[in-house]
Structure 1
Amino acid sequence: MKNTLIEAIEKRRTQYTLGKNVSQTHEQITALIEEAVKLSPSAFNSQSSRVVILFAQQSEKFWQIVMNELRAIVPADKFAPTETKINSFAAGIGTVLFYEDQQIIASLQQQYPSYAEQFPIWSEQGSGIAQFAVWSALANASIGASLQHYNPLPDAAAAKEWQIPDSWKLRAMMPFGSNEAPFPEKTFIDDTERFKVFY
């Protein structure tokens, strides 16, 4: 059965070899990311996902912050692979920083104390959905991306640099740009290990 959504999802792949050769403008990419996040569902319609979009030098500045933080903890004689990886993220045209607003979560915990323990979990799920939506939207625009998790290393410096509210908690970062390398074949575990179906 043909399904356009599934066909679109199939295009979402991890791209580590990024470039700046995209046809869309910054404004068009911004609109695409914003729409993907706005249309992503969240528990209790909390809409707790927050996003910072960094282009060009701003994106490079973020990855330099990450580099500096890593340099402080990775031994110098073993830093070369780390530097290569971070530079590959900075080689793209931009980075999406995904945050979750803890103030929204705390407010829901007060309103619905019976579910208080669940709201942080649901927040993480909502953030994951937003990340997947953005990644898929970028892929369908032929823009490569990958999902990275260097938090909490760059959190404080990024918050200071881009005036991030104290209640925003960094959850993930997504460097993006042109696809400068082919994707390897994708492998899957056997369906019997993943699914149980009953009729």
Structure 2
Amino acid sequence: MHNLFIESIKKRRSQYALGKNLTLSQAETTELIQEAVRQAPSAFNSQSTRAVILYAEHNQALWDLVKESLRPLVPADNFAATKTKVNSFAAGAGTVLFYEDQTVVEGLQERFALYADNFPVWSEHANAIAQFSVWTALANADIGASLQHYNPVIDAAVAAHWDIPSNWTLRAQMPFGSNEGELSEKTYIADAERFLIFA
């Protein structure tokens, strides 16, 4: 069976060998990311996901900040490996920081009290869909990316450096750039472990 969407999402892979030679201009890359976030669905059309897009010295500053935040937490004899890994993200063209606006979530909890406990969960769903949408859109433009989670270790430092609104909660970091290495093949668990079908 051929399906355009399935073929599109098959291109998405974790790319750790990143470079700065994008196939799109910075403006085109920004618009691609923005449009992918805009088109991502959210419960009650809440549109609670926020994105911060960092390029050039801002991208480098982020990953320098990550290293400094991790330094006191990682044993000294292991820090060289951590530094190498983080530097591979800094080698890319940019990073998308994914946030959730808690004011939106809290507003929905107040307006729809019956579902109050669910809105934080649905907010996380919306953010995950936005991450997947951006990642897939980048992959289809031949731009490599991966998804990282250095929050909450870096949250306060990032918020202070870029004056992030206090009601935004950091959920993930997506470094992106040109594909400078081969992408690994994806493996799958057996269908019998994953699906139940009743017909």
Q: Same fold (TM over 0.5)?
A: yes
Mapping of residues 60-139 of structure 1, within 5 Å: 60-139=60-139
User: 1:122-180, CA deviations, whole angstroms, 9 ceiling, x for partnerless residues?
Assistant: 00000000000000000000000000000011111111111110000000000000111
Matches of 1:8 and 1:85 in 2, distance apart? 28
What count of residue pairs does the alignment treat as equivalent?
A: 199
**Cross-structure match for 1:184:** 184
| 1:111, distance to aligned residue in structure 2 (A) | 0.5
**Cross-structure match for 2:195:** 195
Matches of 1:78 and 1:158 in 2, distance apart? 24
AA aligned to 1:179 is: N
SS in 2 for 1:79: helix
**Cross-structure match for 1:16:** 16
Matches of 2:4 and 2:154 in 1, distance apart? 38
AA aligned to 2:167 is: S
Aligned 8 A contact 2:23 2:142 in 1: no
Matches of 1:115 and 1:184 in 2, distance apart? 41
2:169 equivalent to 1:169: yes
**Cross-structure match for 2:148:** 148
User: 1:82-131, CA deviations, whole angstroms, 9 ceiling, x for partnerless residues?
Assistant: 00100000000000000000000000000011111100000000000000
Matches of 1:133 and 1:184 in 2, distance apart? 20
AA aligned to 2:166 is: D
Q: CA RMSD in A?
A: 0.6
Aligned 8 A contact 2:20 2:91 in 1: yes
What 5-or-longer segments of structure 1 have no aligned partner?
A: none
| 1:187, distance to aligned residue in structure 2 (A) | 0.8
SS in 2 for 1:197: coil
Identity of aligned residues (%): 59
Following TM superposition, the consecutive aligned residue runs of length 4 or more in structure 1 with deviations greater than 4 angstroms are: none
AA aligned to 1:132 is: F
Matches of 1:154 and 1:26 in 2, distance apart? 26
AA aligned to 1:54 is: L
SS in 1 for 2:122: helix
| 1:23, distance to aligned residue in structure 2 (A) | 2.4
Mapping of residues 9-48 of structure 1, within 5 Å: 9-48=9-48
